[in-house]
Amino acid sequence: MKVELHACGLKSKGDRVRLNPTSLTLASGQITAVIGPNGAGKSTLMGLISGAFKPTHGYASLGDHIVTETRSQKLAQLRAVLSQDLAQTYGFSVYDVVSWARTPWRGTEHQSKDAQAIERALSSVGMQNSAERPIHQLSGGERQRVHLARVIAQDSPLLILDEPDSDLDLVGRNLLDSVVTGLFGSGKTILISSHDVNRMSRIAHQAVVVSQQKLIFHGPIQQAVTSEVISEAFQSKIRVQWVGQPGAVQEAKVTMME
């Protein structure tokens, strides 16, 4: 799923800039990390792509579809979203929550795949034995995994994951990384934001770096995660050192400098 922003930006009431007009193209079938400090505009950028926000300037497109001109069912078929603000799901079971993801496919030939998609998604996040549990009885990390399963079960070509690791422990984050790389292996296009730059350097192919409501870099992950770019993004002196052998998985070690 090719994603494009065409001078796309957003201002809120009071003319406060949430994201300056931004143009970029995300290659189909790759993992792109969105990196930047709190309040930089990461969630706004992802919301403009997902259709959660209507741009003040320009437009976003998914494939041949302009986001703001696409009906909701079709948009849900094109992209699945895991936002920071998870829906209130008190009283529903884990299976119920994941099954909501199949709503966009009702009335289509894909509806016959509902049960298989739900079971596969639950298994991928290790929640297959908790399908009947009320979701409000789960820990925050477990609920995060359920919502990740919901996004997977939607089976859209584009996944937009806004800080999906926020409530996950070390095991949960390793599971998330395995799930994301597995989805990439199945041909999905993935846009993911996280404050864990080290981990993003290991799993992402591309990066979008934002700071102070501006896009400051977009390109290959090893060109994005450098001392110069990350220091500029976070307005601090930061040292980045890439470790690992060429041709194997490499990872950036990011440290603050005194």
- Give alpha helix (H) positions in the chain: 42-50, 72-78, 94-99, 114-124, 140-154, 170-185, 197-203, 221-224, 227-234
* pLDDT, mean over the chain: 93
Instruction: Please choose, from the candidates 216, 222, 218, 250, the residue with its C-alpha nearest in 3D space to the C-alpha of residue 234.
Output: 216
The pLDDT of residue 249: 74
pLDDT in tens, 8-56: 999 988 889 999 999 999 989 999 999 999 999 999 999 999 999 999 9
pLDDT in tens, 107-136: 888 888 899 999 999 999 999 999 999 998
Domains located in the chain, CATH noted: 3-256 (3.40.50.300)
Mean pLDDT of 163-181: 92
221 pLDDT higher than 80 = yes
**If residue 113 lies in a helix (H) or strand (E), which one and from where to where?**
none
Burial pattern 135-170, b for ≥16 Cβ within 10 A else e, equals: beebeebbbbbbbbbbbbbbbbbbbbbbbbbebbee
Specify the range with the lowest mean pLDDT, choosing from 44-53, 109-118, 198-207, 211-220: 109-118
CA angle, 152 as apex, 221 and 124 as ends, to 5°? Answer: 90
Name the token pair of 68.
């703001």
pLDDT in tens, 56-78: 999 999 999 999 999 999 999 99
Instruction: Please choose, from the candidates 83, 89, 82, the residue with its C-alpha nearest in 3D space to the C-alpha of residue 134.
Output: 89
Strand boundaries in 28-96, DSSP class E: 31-35, 57-62, 65-66, 79-82
The pTM of this model reads: 0.94
Question: How does DSSP classify residue 188?
Answer: -
